[in-house]
Amino acid sequence: HFTMTAQVRVANGGAAHLDARASNAAFAVVLDAQGNVSLVRGETVLATSPAPTAPEVTPDPTAEPEWHTVSVQALGNVITVSVDGSPRIDYTDTETATSGGFSFTTDTNNSGAVDIDNIIIQKLDAPEVITTPEPTVEPTAEATEQSVIEPETTVEPETTAEAPVEAPDESATTGVQVGINFDDENADWALGAGANVVDSGEGNFALLMAANTTLGLNEPLSLSNFTLTARLNILTDAANGEDSGLGIFFRLSDGSGYLLTIESDNSALYALGETNELLAESGSAHALNSWHAITFTVNGGNAMLNVNGVDELIVDGLSDSAGDISFVANSASNIMVDDVAITELASTANTDPEATPEPSPAAIPMGLTPETEVKLDGSLTAIVTEFLQSDPATAFEIAEDYGLDIDETGRVRVVIYPANGYTTEAVAAIAEAAGGVVLDTNERRVVARIPIPGFVPLVNTAEVGAVRLPARAASTSTLETGLAAPAGVAATEAFDMLNVYEWHLAGFTGTGVDIAIIDRGFGNPVSLTAEHSCVNSATLAYGTPEDGDTTHGLTVAEVVCDIAPAANVRLFKVDDDYSDIIDATFEMANAVNEARTTGYDVIIIAMDLGVAASPGDGTLGYKCEDILDDTTCEDNKDLYKDLYNEIAQARQAGIAVVVAAGNNGNNDTDGLR
């Protein structure tokens, strides 16, 4: 019992064979260049499905053949075949199903090329499949046991008349409106053609969705504020430039709405219209053939996506409208989804936007409810539940395992977002009333430390919309314990987090790479130790050591030597005199020019280029008018362009340029420091 998917491309004169169950019950799915599909056993054709009828066009013999996604599922004696998300064959075999191997072949008289890619074979543990009802076909004299589904056939899912889905009451309290875990039939949901419920392992059923397959509700569920949770497994990615993974449409109404995509290499949010507008994207990767836990919250003008406990998207400025929700497997992927739940969030609109609402006087429950759990990050829910139901000491152990930031008093550092219509001032007051300490606030969030039991009263107030863990770096290393750095005896704190050791094992140590470090100082004298083994000389390549020079540059060099111990590193000192911005900018431009023209592969500028007051790319070294008079700034404006031009020329020459972000951040990004 299995599901097999593959990307197949067949040139004229060719045919691809996907062979399975190599035994007496062996069969093959055959796809030809015209899109015709057959199910065969030896010389016997069991079922066929011609290609969809296309408009009359003159074929271009020079055109490249197209890629197609072929999906084959065999559960017991039932064999189904889909192409590009469209069901083509549904056949009940008369032979007893037996196990056997797989192979991919071509016709013996093949005259056209066949390409096969992205093959995924998944074992299914039980011969049970739940599918949407098929239309009844009256038998004819020519009818055989097979049932061939033509691409244009539309399957209307049945609805349960006795229990229609009611439109949500806008004044109702929050609650789960709809959910499905695919272990049982659910008449509320409509599975599009090409979607089948399959055993995903260990007796758990999930929805297998071929590319472009949809999942929606039989009756529209128009929601404005909601939290959606689900599990997603991206099985394939054709890597053809098209979207992969899962698409979630929401607030769909009269041709407008929004689209969230969770892809193998990205997540993004779009506003739908004549041309879809990209509102935000994360660049976060989601591994293929792995389950990912998704929490997506839309509240008023805000939307937040959390995947596997990490916030990936936080977007403001959405139109506060209601609309439908639906799902689609994007065109470059086959996916599986499971445990879908949609929870309506009650409206918290404040009629007076200038007023600061008082904390809610309602009685606070002594525990979490399904309505309040959705406000918490998933790991926080587990920790709070353990604290309330079991041993508090165990809750703290779990918190440490999750890597939560906990202070000596047991308070957890979190980011709190107000519900729609409420201010951060109101949320800050509630956080303090819950025993917390407010660390920072701005107009859209509160950073605070909250004791574990304090999360219960916190989320049981209307003012609090969501509580999330601060974004943090996560190790990509598979090692359970840290390793010493190759340079010297001390490793920088990010050595294991950056997975450096495994890069070294793979042979990437910086051999043949010349690196220039530009900094304000390297000490006087420049004292190199074993930690700086990759620095080939204590003599500066640019600049002169002076009494009182900082050793900041040597610290940077230690990090570089830990990561690239075999590299050739030289030190460039810039006299960064803040009292003379003209000279400072001129010096930095000259240092970059020296590194660029003397053949360095990497330039590291470990200095602040003004990100607190400018783009930080060298266009304005510092905020000139804060140091000099306006006339002097205007007279020397071309000088500030010199540094940017030097950096730009270095990049154009293929040099990797790394510029420090500086120390002038105002703790304004979700608690990042």
Q: Which of 105-114, 289-298, 399-408 has the highest mean pLDDT?
A: 289-298
* Cα dihedral across residues 140, 144, 149, 151: positive or negative: negative
In a domain, 234, yes or no: yes
What is residue 628's DSSP assignment?
S
Mean pLDDT of the chain: 76
- The tens digit of pLDDT for each residue in 33-53 reads 888 899 888 888 888 887 766
406-423 burial, b if ≥16 CB within 10 A, otherwise e?
beeebbbbbbbbbbbbbb
Is-contact 575 547, C-beta < 8 A? no
In a domain, 362, yes or no: no
Tokens 């030097």 found at: 646
DSSP string for 265-328: S-EEEEEESSSPEEEEE------TTSEEEEEEEEETTEEEEEETTEEEEEE-------BEEEEE
* Residues 648, 510 within the same domain: yes
- The tens digit of pLDDT for each residue in 524-545 reads 999 999 889 999 999 999 999 9
Is-contact 157 38, C-beta < 8 A? no
Reading phi first (left if > 0) and then psi (alpha if -120 to 50, else beta), residue 16 is in beta
**Is residue 317 over pLDDT 70?**
yes
In a domain, 655, yes or no: yes
* Cα dihedral across residues 414, 418, 419, 425: positive or negative: positive
Of 147-151, 254-258, 312-316, 581-585, the least confident: 147-151
Domain boundary among 71, 94, 129: 129
pLDDT at res. 551: 93
* Residues 95, 211 within the same domain: no
User: For residues 358 and 439, which has the higher predicted lDDT (pLDDT)?
Assistant: 439
The two tokens of residue 398 are: 């779990």
CATH number at residue 447: 3.30.70
Question: What are the C-alpha distances in Å from 480 to residues 477, 499, 614?
Answer: 8, 11, 41
H or E element at residue 229: strand 226-234
* Residues 461, 507 within the same domain: no
* Residues 335, 253 within the same domain: yes
* Residues 511, 624 within the same domain: yes
* Residues 552, 514 within the same domain: yes
CATH number at residue 76: 2.60.120.560
* Residues 637, 559 within the same domain: yes
In a domain, 22, yes or no: yes
* Residues 190, 306 within the same domain: yes
Q: How many residues does the chain have?
A: 673
Domain boundary among 309, 344, 379: 344
Choose among 129, 124, 45: nearest CA to 89: 45
In a domain, 522, yes or no: yes
Mean pLDDT of 168-180: 51
In a domain, 665, yes or no: no
Q: Which burial class, exposed, middle or buried, applies to 8 when counting CB atoms under 10 A from its CB (0-12, 13-18, 19+)?
A: buried
What residues contact residue 40 under an 8 Å CB cut-off, 6+ apart?
Answer: 27, 28, 30, 46
* Residues 334, 412 within the same domain: no
Q: Are strands 602-605 and 514-519 parallel, antiparallel or unpaired?
A: parallel
**Is residue 603 over pLDDT 90?**
yes
Q: Which domain holds residue 399?
A: 370-468
In a domain, 352, yes or no: no
Question: Vertex 337, ends 336 and 339: CA angle to 5°?
Answer: 150
* Residues 76, 201 within the same domain: no
In a domain, 138, yes or no: no
* Residues 333, 385 within the same domain: no
* Residues 377, 337 within the same domain: no
- The tens digit of pLDDT for each residue in 216-268 reads 887 777 888 888 888 998 988 877 778 889 999 888 776 678 899 999 988 99
Total-model pTM? 0.36
Number of domains in the chain: 4
Give the whole-angstrom CA distance, residue 97 versus residue 301.
Answer: 54
